[in-house]
């Protein structure tokens, strides 16, 4: 399996990557590392402290995951666009969930590929210059188009599936995560 680099920001939405990082590592021994746009300490939305993170740098292959969080919605959001574009050019799959899709939109990565996010208008509101409106698909499950994966906030299971398949995990094996998480919703 190819490695996964997860980008976190202050107050990142920890539930959005729980299925991917927790089950991905525990069930499939996924190679997952964590970083942030500037490196250093940060805290999740739930208050979980992380003492230190490496600074995000462009990747050579693998999967780069941008986790959502309020830090990506504001005007002072960290600019990771160039590193995301270069990572994609170097063969990485680039994925964003919830507010993470804003970083992909600001980088221009959603201009010409089918993608989803937190609803119509969300990317226009938070990503000035977003030019992918004609490619937007209003759907709940995660969506993969070539080497871009996007998902709205309430879709961590399908997001985990798409990211793990992008690492090279067999789709039937990856299907275990959304199937397991769906159990509580079955009568």
Q: Is the pLDDT of residue 137 over 80?
A: yes
The residue-averaged pLDDT of 131-149 equals 97
pLDDT value of position 187: 65
DSSP state of 73: T
Element (H, E) at 63: strand 63-66
- Dist CA 176 CA 4 (whole Å): 19
Q: Is the pLDDT of residue 152 over 70?
A: yes
Element (H, E) at 182: helix 176-182
pLDDT value of position 75: 84
The residue-averaged pLDDT of 33-37 equals 97
The residue-averaged pLDDT of 7-33 equals 97
Range of the domain at 29: 4-185
User: Could you report the per-residue pLDDT of 73-126, keeping only the tens digit for each?
Assistant: 988 899 999 999 999 999 999 999 999 999 999 999 999 999 999 999 999 999
The residue-averaged pLDDT of 41-46 equals 96
The residue-averaged pLDDT of 19-27 equals 96
pLDDT value of position 185: 81
Q: Which residue from 108, 26, 37, 111 is spatially nearest to 69, judged by alpha carbons?
A: 37
The residue-averaged pLDDT of 160-167 equals 98
DSSP state of 72: G
Q: Is the pLDDT of residue 53 over 90?
A: yes
The residue-averaged pLDDT of 60-64 equals 95
27, 109, 160, 164 from 42: Cα distances, Å: 27, 26, 23, 25
**What is the count of structural domains for the chain?**
1
pLDDT confidence bin for 58, thresholds 50/70/90: confident
Find the CATH number of the domain harbouring 23.
Answer: 3.40.50.880
């Amino acid at each position: 399996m190819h490695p996964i680099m997860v980008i976190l920001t202050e107050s990142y939405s920890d539930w959005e990557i729980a299925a991917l990082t927790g089950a991905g590592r525990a069930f499939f021994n996924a190679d997952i590392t964590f970083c942030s746009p500037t490196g250093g300490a940060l805290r999740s939305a739930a208050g979980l402290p992380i003492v230190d993170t490496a600074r995000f740098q462009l990747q050579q292959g693998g999967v780069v995951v941008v986790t959502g969080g309020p830090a990506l919605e504001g005007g002072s959001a960290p600019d990771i666009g160039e590193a995301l574009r270069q990572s994609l050019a170097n063969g990485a799959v680039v994925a964003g969930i919830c507010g993470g899709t804003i970083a992909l939109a600001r980088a221009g990565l959603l201009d010409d590929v089918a993608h989803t996010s937190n609803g119509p208008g969300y990317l226009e509101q938070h990503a000035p210059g977003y030019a992918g409106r004609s490619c937007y698909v209003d759907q709940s499950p995660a969506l993969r188009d070539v080497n871009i994966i996007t998902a709205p906030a309430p879709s961590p299971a399908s997001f985990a599936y798409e990211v793990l398949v992008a690492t090279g995990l067999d789709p039937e094996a990856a299907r275990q995560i959304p199937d397991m998480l769906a159990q509580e919703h079955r009568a």
